[in-house]
Amino acid sequence: METFPVVNMEKLNGEERSATMKLINDACENWGFFEMTKGHYKKCMEERFKEMVASKGLEANLGLEKGYLKKAFYGSKGPTFGTKVSNYPPCPKPDLIKGLRAHTDAGGVILLFQDDKVSGLQLLKDGNWIDVITNGKYKSVMHRVIAQTDGTRMSIASFYNPGSDAMIYPAPELVNKDEEENSTYPKFVFEDYMNLYTRVKFQAKEPRFEAMKTIDTVKVGPIATV
């Protein structure tokens, strides 16, 4: 069985930066998820997460110019931030119900604070659900929550998403020549995608992009493009 990726963000400084960046890249490509070590994130997580949100690490791994992802997320109003607190009470018959159905999240970067005492989160590795800006290089992982008989599970998810009028499409540097004429992912305004996402969140991801090809998203000015 493969080892779940665990990253010590403090190692982004010093001699182990290159190895840590490689580990993050592998986790994003093959898992769509990684765990930050406990005991280290309390003093460095805010700074390092800001670095990742500002996309310095992701841009370096993807070979994109500095500031590309921040600009892509900006639109005319700036990116959006949100936090969701979830409570999963104990269930006497967990085999009959899910705590949360399998799904992928829309948007950008998500920081999830897990419950140390009550388990339940599961993710699907090697799924076929993929993100747009990275042209499928970095995954949006399928995950779910399993109901538990004992204990109430709590989780806190913080979301960093594109601005509502940001125009989203694959970074040109990540698109092969043979994909230019027949791209899997169309250009779309993020708000249009979210309007669709809220209706089909628990369905397969690929048909969403086919549906977006039929939506007219040409309704924002140049400031919202990247």
pLDDT, one tens digit per residue, over 70-123 is 888 888 888 888 888 888 888 888 777 777 777 777 777 777 777 666 666 777
- What is the CATH number for 204? 2.60.120.330
Q: Which span out of 126-130, 149-153, 215-219 was modeled with the highest average pLDDT?
A: 149-153
Is residue 188, in this structure, part of any structural domain at all?
yes
pTM summary value: 0.68
Structural domain of 175: 6-216
Number of domains into which the chain is organized? 1
- Identify the three-state secondary structure at position 136: coil
- Residue 139 CA to residue 105 CA, distance in Å, equals 10
Is residue 225, in this structure, part of any structural domain at all?
no
Is residue 77, in this structure, part of any structural domain at all?
yes
Q: If you count them, how many residues does the chain have? A: 226
Is residue 223, in this structure, part of any structural domain at all?
no
Is residue 224, in this structure, part of any structural domain at all?
no
Is residue 12, in this structure, part of any structural domain at all?
yes
Specify the pairing of strand 35-36 against strand 6-7: parallel
Per-residue pLDDT, 147: 77
Per-residue pLDDT, 22: 92
Is residue 72, in this structure, part of any structural domain at all?
yes
Is residue 221, in this structure, part of any structural domain at all?
no
